[in-house]
Amino acid sequence: MKPAPFEYFAPQAIDEALKLLQKYGEEAKVLAGGQSLMPLLSLRLARPAVIIDINRLRDLAFIRSEPDGGLRIGALARQRAVERSGQVATQCPLIAAAMPLIGHFQIRNRGTIGGSLAHADPAAELPAVSLTLEAEFVVRSTRGERAIAAKDFFLGYMTTAIEPSELLTEIRIPATRPRVGWAIEEVARRRGDFAMVGVVTLVELNGNDTCQNSRIVVFGAGEKPERVARAERLLCGKRTDEHALAEVAKAVTEDLDPVSDVHASAEYRKEVGGVLTRRALQNAFKRAQKETA
Amino acid sequence: MAKPYIGAPIKRREDIRFITGKGTYADDIKLPGMLHAAILRSPRAHARIRSIDTAQARAIPGVVWIFTLKDIGEMAVPVPMRMYKVPGLERYLQPLLARDKVRYMGEPVAVVVAESRYLAEDALDAIEVEYEDLPEVLELRAAMRNEVLVHEENGTNLAAVHEISIGDAARAFEKADYVRREEFRVHRHTGNPMETRGLVANFDVGKRELTAYGMTKLLHYNRQVIASFLKLPEHNLHFIENDIGGGFGIRGELYPEDFLIPFASMRLGRPVKWIEDRREHLMAANHSREVTCELEIAAKKDGTLLALRARIYGNMGAYVRTHGGLVPCSTAALLPGPYRIPNYQCKVHCVITNKTGMGTYRAPGRYESCFFRERMLDMMAADLEIDPVDLRRKNLIQPEEMPYEIGLTRPGTNPTVLDSGNYPSALNRALKEFDYDKLRPLQGRFENGRYHGIGLAYFVKNTGGLEPYEGARVVLRDGPSVTVYLSINVLGQGHETAMAQICADALGVPMDWISVFHGNTDLVPFGWGTFASRGTVMGGSALHLAAQGLKKKILTIAGDHLGAGPAELDLQEGKIYRKGTEAPALDLGKLVALVRHSTMHNQGQPELEETAYFNSNKMTHSYGVHLAHVAVDPETGMVEILKYMVVEDVGRCINPLLVHGQAVGAAVQGIGGTLLEELVYGENGQLLTTTFRDYVLPSSTDVPAIESVVLEEVPSPLNPLGVKGAGEGGMVGTGAALANAVSYALSSLGVEIKELPLSPDKVRALIRRRSAEQAR
Ligand SMILES: Cc1cc2nc3c(=O)[nH]c(=O)nc-3n(C[C@H](O)[C@H](O)[C@H](O)COP(=O)(O)OP(=O)(O)OC[C@H]3O[C@@H](n4cnc5c(N)ncnc54)[C@H](O)[C@@H]3O)c2cc1C
């Protein structure tokens, strides 16, 4: 378990990193926290000719709140820093709640927000959370900067819209609207493992506690995290009663088309995807009801 | 009388070096000029090798040598069987490197030796092997059809059969009021020591001596085999163990690599290191546990057991390894457990498939048989509407029936005899400690979305014996200090502490005078090793005898000096007393000086030492009860253990901290094996679980605090210390107790566990199947 030979660069500034990416493109891999990339290198499942270590780009490690209540997180912010950030906890408690589900704290000490999102493991929490929050991804190359909406960012199994010459620099999370409740539920073989299946939900209630807007994202049950549109529509205009939630859960089970692997069968993922949807919605409704307009 | 060291909860001496990172493991050995080996392994489950082209790989700068079976030439021998040599198995031994065909994913095909491990792995990538795929066979029933033959030349995949017949089972079944038949299965999983296998071999060309570091578990036996392979005299080989990051049955058996690495060092005249990586470990080190059992039980209406009839099938993998037929055979050997079952018939089948070879994993065969039997008893209790505890109580062998002979259950050895024990008493104690009566109303209850279940399992585990002897040498030196040399090995059990306690008591010296040395074939000329919970039973007894012998010698010399008979003297805490007096008559330091500096004492011999061997082919049997309280989420299939207890009688406990540590560690390992771990094969015989992302081990966040109760009610009559082994009891009952608990929890849904593991996916599948059946 030793990596194949590669050339190593440790740029000191973003521009320098972008130039290297421009030069090496497909041949290069960015190294952030290394928690996913290093095992791939050691198993020789990834054999990049060039490694561009971005750990010296301290400018990318920020966590910033915007005047409108939005949040901007630099790609190199460590997962542990986000987990412990007061700003994140108040401005986007869903992210704060998702962080402890990622591996163990030792992993989060090194692992970065950008790394997790760029890696786009279908069972990872952050991609699903960012899709639920309709976050925006900022990528940069020597040619300039562009922003990508979450729905356009995750393209397939461990593939994103980041071009080989681009660096993910930050994610932007829009401000939370009033009367919104959220929840994340997952089942994993062990604490800290990638989810066998998980669900992130958001519900927005109107004055009489009926749902006027919702997002239901399932992860770990396909090539990438996915919104379940039919279930979201079903929920619209519903209040939190057993029957309504069971119907939504059923729609999720029906609409999932997951794979089987050593941890769980497709059937398990379908069923439990539904169960977790129901549980997550119950929690999301409860939270939303507590919010005042 | 000074307070005895035996029985005191003394902290492990070795811990300081382990927890401060100062241990020396195989990979810490770095010798001048050392080369690094990597093994090319088959990516296919079953294929003919058309050609192997190493030209490109050899051209990589820094690659020193690449060899295949041809290069070993006439020296090439298969890895021999050491035990459970059931006739027929000898036809399925593993060659050192693949010959013409590969038969499992992970089979060694070629060896690269290079200046670094990185280069060696680069060379692996550059070797081109042309394979012609053959259909593979993975499962027992398919293999038994012999449509695909793993070893064509033998004409069958059924490598061997072993039969047991005690009493007249057929008649008992005819007469019985109650019979039930079930099929049970334990899944494939195995031990994962934190330190994988690995060794450094250093051949001294001038002296023609080979020193090998990292060898373990069976140093003397392994040395003998490797000496004969290399055609060197045994005493020219020095096998050194170092510190070991866990064994669990896996590490220290002979594998092809144990031949290949010394061979490479000898050919190249340079030290060669090979460290197994985790991927290799998961696909090439012994797998274990995969046993299926068709079990029939016969009883009277009142629950009195009459007979067991079983067919046991072991999925042996592609080659028979050092343990021969041990795993399925020892499943059969103790299937009757602690119960009075006069009629027992069993047929064991060793079946060859395209999977990795099978070997022992902590409590081999016992974990499996305990699950089969204890599950069946709970099913029977439900059928007969008898309380499961009452059912067990009714059938337990009583103390006055000890020693209890079960009969001939193992191939070609002595009858299985339960040496001693008070089985009912341990059961009572376990129920009380667990607060079973108070928890019992929760049985099957649905609370906060989860079903509760409480399960128990009674186990008995043979320990000690197995190989005939162990040796120990005790030397009194200047200082005064005492050195102990052991023939057994230490794979993390804490022998440096426990053995010092045994020696201190038997000799009569302070424990801190004693240093314990082990794990080197030059220390004690003969020995076997540490396995089957035999370290303290065999090695401890040998040490006890050696220390007693030395004490006698010391008292004789002291007697000569003091003008007293040895019987009038005693040695306590390092001082010699005349019996009945308070003040010491002679200091041991003085005695050492006398012996060293004059010819008057010890007949002019300067040494003060004694070597003893303890011989026994009889087995001690530890026993006890596992209890589990679980909560099962029926919607997700997740099983949470709320409380887990191991109650075990070890005859005599040398150090309660160590025994607790063993029980807790073993229970955690057993829980992992029962809930999480599985070696899964997929399409084309590909092993899918080759990293810890897929092969999931329990961590501290996944298990509850294990409670362990150690009993010393009935010492073993088979050794001077009265001890029974303590390494595996914590493991044996885990599968059974958890399966029973989950079955109780889900009884209202009609779920009965007959297969492990209890993964959420499998638990859900059972619930799904039952509700579909009920809906029909
Ligand atoms: C034992 C273990 C358990 C884990 N459990 C979980 C879990 O439960 N849930 C979970 O979500 N994750 C889990 N992880 C993964 C962990 O969260 C990783 O940290 C994360 O997936 C990758 O982040 P990283 O910073 O370590 O990235 P790296 O490993 O350095 O990189 C990962 C990939 O992203 C690319 N990349 C990184 N940064 C950028 C960037 N700024 N721009 C463009 N590309 C970039 C790299 O080139 C690489 O392809 C686990 C990891 C381990 C080792």
Report the residue of B636, B641, B686, B690 to disrupt the A interface, i.e. the one with the largest count of A CBs within 10 Å. Answer: B636
DSSP-assigned letter for residue B355: S
| A78 CA from centroid of ligand 1 (Å) | 10
Task: Write down the ipTM of this complex.
Answer: 0.96
**A58-173 shares its CATH topology with A180-288:** no
Asked if the Cβ–Cβ distance from A44 to B702 is below 8 Å, we say no
Count of domains forming chain B: 2
* B153: in domain: no
Yes or no, beta carbons of A44 and B125 under 8 Å apart: yes
Q: Is B125 helix (H, G, I), strand (E, B) or coil?
A: helix
Residue B282 within a domain = no
Instruction: Give residue A108 CA to ligand 1 midpoint distance, Å.
Output: 9
One DSSP character per residue, B164-206 reads EEES-HHHHHHH-SEEEEEEEEE--B----SS--EEEEEEETT
Strand partners, B622: B461
Contacts for B47-50 with beta carbons within 8 Å, 24 or more apart? B47/B101, B47/B102, B47/B131, B47/B132, B47/B133, B47/B134, B48/B100, B48/B101, B48/B131, B48/B132, B48/B134, B49/B98, B49/B100, B49/B101, B49/B102, B49/B109, B49/B129, B49/B130, B49/B131, B50/B130, B50/B131, B50/B132
**Domain with B539 in it: what CATH number?**
3.30.365.10
Domain ranges for chain A: 7-53, 58-173, 180-288
**Does a structural domain hold residue B204?**
no
Average pLDDT, chain B: 96
Whether residue B1 has pLDDT greater than 60:
no
**Residues in the ligand 1 pocket, defined by CB under 6 Å:** A 29-37, 75, 102-103, 107, 110-112, 114-116, 118-119, 121, 124-126, 162, 167-168, 192-194
Give the whole-angstrom CA distance, residue A118 versus residue A133. Answer: 17
Residues in contact with A233: Cβ distance below 8 Å, sequence separation at least 6, in sequence order: none
| B701-740 pLDDT per residue, tens | 899 999 999 999 999 999 999 999 999 999 999 999 999 9
pLDDT level of residue B332 (50, 70, 90 thresholds): very high
The count of other CB atoms within 10 Å of the CB of residue B246 is 18
Both B570 and B643 in one domain: the answer is no
Same domain flag for B683 and B736: yes
Confidence of residue B774 (pLDDT cuts 50, 70, 90): confident
- Put simply, the answer to whether B764 touches A268 (Cβ < 8 Å) is yes
* pLDDT reported for residue B629: 98
A272 to chain B, any CB pair closer than 8 A? The answer is: yes
- B565 and B643 inside one domain: no
- The CA distance from B159 to B88, in Å, is 6
Task: Examine residue B637 and state whether it is found in any structural domain, yes or no.
Answer: yes
Q: Give the whole-number percent of chain B exceeding pLDDT 70.
A: 100
Please report the sign of the dihedral spanned by the C-alpha atoms of residue A219, residue A220, residue A226, residue A227.
negative
Please, what is the average pLDDT of chain A? 96
**B455, B742 in Cβ contact below 8 A?**
yes
Asked whether residue B497 falls in the same domain as residue B593, the answer is: yes
CA distance B240 to B215: 6
B756 and B635 in one domain?
Answer: yes
- Rounded distance from Cα A100 to ligand 1 centre (Å): 15
Quote the pLDDT of residue B147. 98
Cβ neighbours of A271 in B, within 8 Å: 635, 764, 768
Query: Interior CA angle at B439 toward B437 and B444, to 5°?
Result: 115
Please state the length of chain B: 776
B488 and B567 share one domain: yes
The answer for A 246-265 residues in CB contact with B (under 8 A) is: 261-265
Report yes or no: B239 and B225 within 8 Å, Cβ to Cβ.
Answer: no
Closest-lying ligand 1 atom to the alpha carbon of residue A75: 41
Of B615, B650, B680, the residue at which a domain comes to its end is B615
**Together in a domain, B634 and B701:** yes
H-assigned helices in chain A: 14-24, 37-42, 79-84, 86-91, 93-98, 105-110, 113-119, 125-132, 150-153, 229-235, 242-255, 266-290
| A 23-52 residues with CB < 8 A to B | 39, 43-44
Closest residue of chain B to A276, computed from CA coordinates? B636
Q: B483: how many CB neighbours lie within 10 A of its CB?
A: 18
Considering the domain boundaries, does residue B684 fall inside one?
yes
What pLDDT is attached to residue A293?
A: 62
Contact between B669 and B732 (Cβ < 8 Å):
no
Q: Which residues of A touch B277 (CB under 8 A)?
A: 1
A187: nearest CA in chain B? Answer: B636
What separation in angstroms does the CA of A286 have from each of A100, B450, B613? 21, 22, 72
**How many angstroms is it from B703 CA to the middle of ligand 1?**
27
pLDDT, tens digit (0-9, with 9 covering 90-100), for B551-588: 999 999 999 999 999 999 999 999 999 999 999 999 99
pLDDT at res. A207: 86
Residues spanned by the domain of B500: 466-615
Helix (H) and strand (E) counts in chain B: 21, 29
- Please tell me the predicted confidence (pLDDT) of residue B775: 83
Question: So what's the pLDDT on residue B710?
Answer: 97
Q: Ligand 1, residues A37, A139, A219: which to mutate, most atoms within 8 A of Cβ?
A: A37
* pLDDT of the residue at A250: 97
Res B604: pLDDT: 81
Rounded Cα distance, B771 and B776, in Å? 9
Q: Are B742 and B758 in contact (CB under 8 A)?
A: yes
Which residues of chain B does A267 touch, with a Cβ-Cβ cutoff of 8 Å?
A: 765, 768
> Which portions of chain A are predicted below pLDDT 70?
293
When pLDDT is averaged across residues B446-468 and rounded to a whole number, the result is 93
Classify residue B554: in a domain, yes or no: yes
Q: What is the pLDDT of residue B605?
A: 86
Q: Helix B388-395 and helix B366-384: axis angle, to 10°?
A: 110
Give pLDDT, residue B532: 82
Minimal CA separation from A67 to chain B, in Å: 40
- If asked whether residues B588 and B706 sit together in one domain, one would say no
Could you give the percent of chain B with pLDDT greater than 90? 93
Contact between B571 and B554 under an 8 Å Cβ cutoff? The reply is: yes
Note whether B698 and B608 are same-domain residues.
no
Three-point CA angle B418, B366, B93, nearest 5°: 115
Q: Based on the fold, state whether residues B654 and B776 are members of the same structural domain.
A: yes
In a domain, B495, yes or no: yes
Name the pLDDT band for B72 (thresholds 50, 70, 90): very high
User: Six-digit token pair at B767?
Assistant: 């619930």
The pair of structure tokens assigned to A57 is 């780009």
In angstroms, rounded to a whole number, what is the distance separating the alpha carbons of residues B690 and A259?
Answer: 19
Rounded distance, CA B27 to CA B200, Å? 8
Q: Note the pLDDT of residue B776.
A: 78
What is the CA B569 to chain-centroid distance, rounded? 43
Q: Is B727 part of any domain?
A: yes
For residues B686 and B757, membership in a common domain is answered with yes
**Mutation site, B674, B761, B767, B769, interface A, largest A CB count within 10 A:** B761
Q: Tell me how far the alpha carbon of residue A183 lies from the centroid of ligand 1, in angstroms.
A: 23
Fold of A7-53: 3.30.43
Confidence class for position B763, pLDDT limits 50, 70, 90: very high
Q: Are strands B586-587 and B575-578 parallel, antiparallel or unpaired?
A: antiparallel
Asked if A272 lies within 8 A of B676 by C-beta distance, the reply is no
Stretch B107-118: mean pLDDT: 98
In CATH terms, is domain A58-173 a member of 3.30.465.10?
Answer: yes
Ligand 1 centre distance from Cα of residue B205 (Å): 49
Q: Would you call B125 and A4 a contact, using CB atoms and an 8 Å cutoff?
A: yes
Class of domain A180-288: alpha beta
Return phi, psi of residue B631, to 5°: -125, 130
Are residues B446 and B517 part of one domain? no
pTM for this entry: 0.97
Calculate mean pLDDT across residues B76-84. Answer: 96
